Structure formats: C-alpha cells, structure tokens
Copies of this chain bind each other. A is one copy, B any other.
Amino acid sequence: MEPRRSEKNNNYSEIKCLHCLAKAHSFCKCIAQDKLPDFSKISSQKKFKDRSYIFLQGEKNDYFYNLVQGNVKIFKVFEDGRIQILGFLYPGDFFGLYSSKNFSYTAECIGEVTCCIFNHKDLDAYLDKNIELTKHLLHRTTNELTLMQDRVAIIGRLSARKRIVNFFLNISSQRKRIGWQENPIVLPMTRNEMADYLGLTVETVSREISKLKSEEIIKMVDSKQVFLNKPLLESELSNNS
C-alpha cells in the first residue's frame, strides 16, 4: 500500500530533513522539528560525482541548492578561458541564489557531493508561510554579501603574500566555526584553484608559499596540510613594509 512514502519522489520525501547531516549549519536550521516533514516535501536530494557540474554559468536558474555533503566550487569563466573562483562551499552553504535569473557562475563538485534542490516557486511559496525562515535566509545572504565585500577589498588592494596569508587564516577560522581543528589546516583545493580564487597565478602562489615556509611562518605537514604560526601570520597582515 505505502500510502504516502512514494507519493512524490524517491527522496525519502517527508523524512529526509529529519536525518539531515547538514541541518545544523544550513539555512533551514530554524525550522521546528514538527514542521520538517512539510518542509521536506519542497526539496529533493541529489548526488553528484566528483568534477561534475551542478549547473553552468549562463543557464536558466530555476533552482536553489543547499549543500549537504562534500565540497563545491563556484566560479566565473571569461571568454579567454580565465577563471575566477568565487567560493569553496562547505556543507550547509547554499548557492544558485534565490532569484530566477540566469546562473551568473558555474558550480562544480570537488569530490562526491549531495545537494538539496529547491524549485524557486516551491521555496518561494514556503517562505510565505514561514517568516522566520525568510528572515534567516536574509541574514545568511547579508553575511555572504559582507564576505564578498571583504574579498573585493582583499583582491583589489592586498599583495599576493597578504592574500595568501589572509586565505590561510580564513580557512583556520572557518574550520574552528564548524568545530574542526583550527591548526593544521587542510587545503582541499589545488594550488591552481587557490590562484584562481585569489586572483593570482599558480606560480605566484607556489613561490609565496615557499617563502612563507622558508621564513617558518608556516610549516607543511604534507602537501595538503599546513601548520600555521598564527601570531606571525597575523602580524604579516598588519605589516606595512
């Protein structure tokens, strides 16, 4: 009989949100337990393979995504093939944006990824019923805006060395925020991706990291793990020489 379980789709429909791993960090964390089954209905979960595209810059944007598992990078591509990475996303981050224009960037999976997918219309209708959620989404979006403003300033005005130092410190505090160890940090991205994120070239990133190593401001645990001498890094940032 299965009266309701299979009514909508194969995504556990009404129960998936109850067991969601990312809920604690997601925009939907403010939804009360008893409202979750209803909320569950307006999204579906989908898995993506390593390096697959979730959507492409320029495509029609009808969906809003919430990252549940894995990492996603969002980036813009220029006519000449140059790339600017806008962000490396973590579980609980949302993307695709809440508006029905075209995607202004591409979203690509780094490793295996699971996302919740919301149709704009459905999400919009749900927001009408839940002002708390709407306000929370507004807060999160405002926060994203502030971070993006920081990046404009960093890319517009800081030297390569300072951009990298700042990048390391940011990763460290991000890790702390979500309860991971803040010191040896892990760089899940390649040097090339770091460069594309910081508005630099691989070579410059590599050279500057080498310098920081030789000055013992950082220490490589292995090629992906970096131990930070935080006081020295902080002083690097406020150093006007």
Contact = CB atoms under 8 A, between A and B. Distances in A.
Most interface-central of A76, A97, A105, A148 (chain B CB within 10 A): A148
A127 B76 CA distance: 34
B139 A98 contact: yes
Total copies of this chain within the assembly:
2
Nearest to A156: B199
Interface in A152-191: 152-153, 155-158
A141 B141 CA distance: 7
A215 interface: no
A171 B158 CA distance: 26
A142 B141 contact: yes
A150 interface: yes
Contact of A82 (B139, B146, B157): B157
A11 interface: no
Interface stretch (A39-47, A65-73, A129-137): A129-137
Contact of A99 (B137, B139, B152): B139
A160 to B, nearest CB: 12
A152 B152 CA distance: 5
A144 interface: yes
A79 B153 contact: no
17 contacts: A76-B149, A82-B157, A84-B153, A84-B157, A86-B149, A97-B142, A104-B146, A104-B150, A127-B131, A127-B135, A128-B131, A134-B135, A138-B138, A141-B145, A148-B149, A151-B152, A152-B199
Interface of A: 76, 78-80, 82-84, 86, 97-99, 101, 104-105, 124, 127-128, 131, 134-135, 137-139, 141-146, 148-153, 155-158, 198-199, 238, 240
